[in-house]
């Protein structure tokens, strides 16, 4: 009992902050602070924009960046991950707000956080490694397209049509646009886009998104050329944390949405942490602790009136490139945004909504790597198809359905490839030929004998025996069989029983240790004529087969 308790306490301790999280801080604290300020400046317009595009509001986006960003930095499993509201989360939240209202967001956020926390405690962090690369990239392309399309109404200075999917709403806005009223917002978007594209070519150290927003906001404020809507009033302090009222009926109605959000939060956070681990020299990340930290972050965000949070790949990349080495950088990022809440919400509230739409449109373009898309499309046809299907479903249907369908399609092609590599080969008997060797068929099984290939293998063996009516002994070599499942083992039992029923002696050679129990359980060995027809070496199998042929000739 004491050993079990000690093991449990050790596992719980693995999810808690520790001194080793800040190893090397004495050397890197200056770089961490600079990186935190840099990523905070980048995160401000994104947090506001993602809050608005999700339908939850700019204030919720800012609160999420502060609260969730701080909690995830302290409790998460990555030293350099930056968390907060993201485009993918905004995409999945928008229809939830439309269907269930703003009042449901706190419950959904906390419930999703609890689910992500449980996933981390149960050790499910490694599951993201089973998502194929084409699925991830197709998912990313689809999210980028949705983020861009979501900004079309704001870019035209109008509200999105209620109850329509993102693609349909964007098309409807463009088709029925009043160009006279739309041009000021479109001009603001264009100015933001030009500044964000040109500024890095002048100096890469200047934060282009924040600079673009500031410049355009000043132009709109001090001229009468652009009559566009602004963010509006923002809170000048963090709200008091509170537990939302839980209505059992609402809880039941939003449970599916919470599961979808939890799945998205887990996938996006782990992918971001994995990318960060490859970019930063700070060492590997702990996927289970990362999930538990992100779960706690969303719970805290929900208590303060924020939205679900995930690891943000773009902000994490900025953090790493700015020299971050410890969690202090992400903590400073949240503290900087907290200072904005208390000191600068007045100026921030005057930012035009079209300016934030421009930031997100440029961000959407930057999420897509043309080189990556070309690489996938030039790879195998199956991977290219998986990529395209995932992207299309993400845009037209649902984010989580896109990942699920993408994984299913990828699994189908992977299993198909494995099944194609499974084969049955008739080999000549080694050594000098003996009289009667033509009555012995030596069959070698290669690859995998599982549900995808079992029928084809069994048919091949049966057809081989039919074509060779003189065969009286079949030796089945299983030493090179890599994978065997229950379907394959059952097919093997049927093959042995059928051959023995036709008077053909079956000898099985080289069964691997891990396959023994399965073959015995489905009755393969019971179908053999004698116990000594299960042998370990090829020489033994051939000698025994020749003895059978010799007795038949006598």
pLDDT for position 1: 46
pLDDT for position 186: 93
Structure tokens at 103: 């009042």
Backbone angles phi, psi at 428, to 5 degrees: -70, 150
Residues forming a β-bridge with 83 = 311
pLDDT for position 79: 92
User: What is the DSSP annotation of 402-453?
Assistant: HHHHHHHHHHHHHHHHHHHH-EEEEEPPSSS--TTGGGEEEEEEEEEESTTT
Look-up of token digits 């996933």: 119
Structure tokens at 463: 């057809």
User: What is the DSSP annotation of 162-211?
Assistant: TT--HHHHHHHHHHT--HHHHHHHHHHHHHHHHHHHHHHHH-TTS-HHHH
Query: Cα 137–141–146 angle (5° rounding)?
Result: 145
From the centroid of its chain, how far is CA 499?
A: 47
Taking the C-alpha atoms of residue 250 and residue 105, their distance in angstroms, rounded to an integer, is: 11
pLDDT for position 463: 66
Query: Which band of pLDDT confidence, cut at 50, 70 and 90, is reported for residue 2?
Result: low
DSSP 230: B
In this structure, the strands spanning 440-449 and 481-484 are parallel
The string of pLDDT tens digits covering residues 212-251 is 888 999 998 888 777 888 888 888 888 888 888 877 877 8
The string of pLDDT tens digits covering residues 317-372 is 888 877 889 999 999 999 999 999 899 888 888 888 888 888 888 888 887 888 88
pLDDT for position 331: 96
Exposure class string for 314-338: b at 16+ Cβ within 10 A, else e: bbbbbbbebbbbbbbbbbbbbbbbb
Look-up of token digits 């084809």: 456
Taking the C-alpha atoms of residue 405 and residue 402, their distance in angstroms, rounded to an integer, is: 5
Query: Cα 468–469–473 angle (5° rounding)?
Result: 80
Taking the C-alpha atoms of residue 216 and residue 188, their distance in angstroms, rounded to an integer, is: 7
Structure tokens at 397: 């249907």
pLDDT at 166 over 50: yes
pLDDT for position 338: 94
Backbone angles phi, psi at 448, to 5 degrees: -135, 140
Taking the C-alpha atoms of residue 223 and residue 242, their distance in angstroms, rounded to an integer, is: 42
Residues forming a β-bridge with 466 = none
pLDDT at 308 over 80: yes
Query: Which band of pLDDT confidence, cut at 50, 70 and 90, is reported for residue 293?
Result: very high
Q: Are 465 and 504 in contact (CB under 8 A)?
A: yes
Length of the chain: 554
Taking the C-alpha atoms of residue 65 and residue 70, their distance in angstroms, rounded to an integer, is: 8
Least confident stretch, 39-43, 71-75, 396-400, 438-442: 396-400
Residue among 495, 488, 490, 553 nearest 528 (CA): 495
The string of pLDDT tens digits covering residues 320-329 is 877 889 999 9
The string of pLDDT tens digits covering residues 77-109 is 999 999 999 887 888 888 888 888 888 899 999
The string of pLDDT tens digits covering residues 253-281 is 888 889 889 988 998 898 888 878 877 77
Three-state DSSP class for residue 409: helix
pLDDT at 206 over 60: yes
Q: Are 406 and 139 in contact (CB under 8 A)?
A: yes
Taking the C-alpha atoms of residue 45 and residue 50, their distance in angstroms, rounded to an integer, is: 9
Instruction: Answer yes or no: pTM beyond 0.75.
Output: no
Query: Cα 513–515–517 angle (5° rounding)?
Result: 90
pLDDT for position 344: 87
The number of C-alpha atoms within 13 Å of 66 and in the hemisphere containing its C-beta is: 22
The string of pLDDT tens digits covering residues 409-428 is 877 777 777 667 777 888 88
Percentage of the chain beyond pLDDT 70 is: 91
Three-state DSSP class for residue 352: strand
Three-state DSSP class for residue 241: coil
Residue among 106, 110, 120 nearest 266 (CA): 120
Which residues make Cβ contacts (< 8 Å) with residue 55, sequence separation at least 6?
93, 94, 97, 98, 102
pLDDT for position 237: 87
Q: Are 473 and 504 in contact (CB under 8 A)?
A: yes
């Amino acid at each position: 009992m004491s050993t079990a308790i000690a093991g449990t306490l050790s596992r719980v301790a693995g999810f808690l902050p520790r001194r080793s999280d800040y190893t090397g801080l004495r050397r890197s604290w200056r770089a961490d602070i600079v990186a935190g300020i840099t990523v905070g400046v980048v995160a401000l317009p994104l947090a506001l924009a993602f809050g608005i595009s999700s339908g939850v509001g700019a204030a919720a986006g800012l609160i999420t960046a502060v609260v969730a960003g701080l909690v995830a930095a302290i409790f998460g499993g990555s030293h350099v991950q930056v968390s907060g509201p993201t485009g993918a989360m905004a995409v999945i939240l928008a229809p939830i707000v439309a269907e269930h209202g703003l009042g449901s967001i706190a419950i959904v956020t906390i419930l999703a956080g609890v689910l992500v926390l449980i996933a981390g405690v149960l050790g499910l962090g490694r599951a993201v490694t089973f998502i194929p690369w084409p699925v991830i990239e197709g998912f990313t392309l689809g999210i980028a397209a949705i983020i861009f399309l979501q900004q079309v109404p704001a870019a035209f200075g109008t509200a999105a049509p209620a109850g329509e999917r993102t693609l349909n709403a964007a098309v409807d806005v463009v088709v029925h646009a009043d160009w006279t009223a739309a041009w000021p917002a479109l001009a603001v978007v264009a100015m933001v886009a030009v500044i964000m594209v040109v500024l890095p070519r002048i100096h890469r150290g200047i934060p282009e998104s924040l600079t673009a927003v500031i410049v355009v906001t000043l132009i709109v404020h001090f001229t009468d050329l652009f009559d566009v809507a602004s963010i509006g009033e923002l809170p000048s302090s963090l709200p008091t944390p509170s537990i939302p009222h839980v209505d059992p009926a609402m809880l039941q109605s939003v449970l599916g949405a919470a599961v979808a959000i939890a799945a998205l939060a887990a996938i996006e956070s782990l992918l971001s942490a994995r990318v960060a681990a490859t970019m930063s020299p700070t060492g590997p990340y702990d996927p289970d602790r990362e999930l538990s930290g992100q779960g706690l972050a969303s719970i805290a965000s929900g208590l303060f009136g924020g939205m679900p949070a995930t690891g943000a790949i773009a902000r994490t990349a900025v953090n790493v490139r700015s020299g971050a080495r410890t969690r202090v950088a992400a903590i400073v990022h949240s503290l900087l945004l907290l200072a904005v809440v208390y000191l600068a919400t007045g100026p921030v509230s005057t930012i035009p909504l079209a300016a934030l739409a421009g930031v997100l449109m440029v961000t959407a373009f930057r999420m897509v790597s043309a080189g990556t898309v070309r690489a996938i499309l030039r790879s195998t046809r199956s991977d290219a198809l998986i990529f395209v299907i995932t992207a299309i479903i993400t845009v037209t249907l649902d984010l989580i359905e896109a990942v699920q369908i993408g994984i299913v399609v990828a699994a189908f092609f992977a299993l198909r490839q494995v099944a194609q590599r499974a084969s049955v080969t008739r080999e000549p008997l080694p050594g000098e030929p003996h009289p009667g060797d033509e009555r012995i068929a030596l069959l070698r099984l290669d690859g995998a004998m599982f549900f995808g290939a079992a029928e084809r293998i069994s048919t091949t063996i049966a057809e081989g025996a039919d074509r060779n009516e003189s065969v009286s002994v079949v030796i089945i070599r299983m030493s090179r069989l890599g994978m065997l499942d229950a379907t394959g083992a059952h097919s093997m039992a049927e093959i042995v029983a059928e051959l023995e029923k036709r008077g053909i002696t079956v000898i099985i050679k080289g069964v691997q240790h891990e396959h023994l129990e399965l073959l015995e359980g489905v009755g393969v060995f019971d179908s053999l004529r004698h116990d000594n027809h299960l042998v370990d070496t090829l020489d033994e199998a051939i000698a025994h087969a020749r003895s059978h042929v010799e007795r038949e000739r006598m």
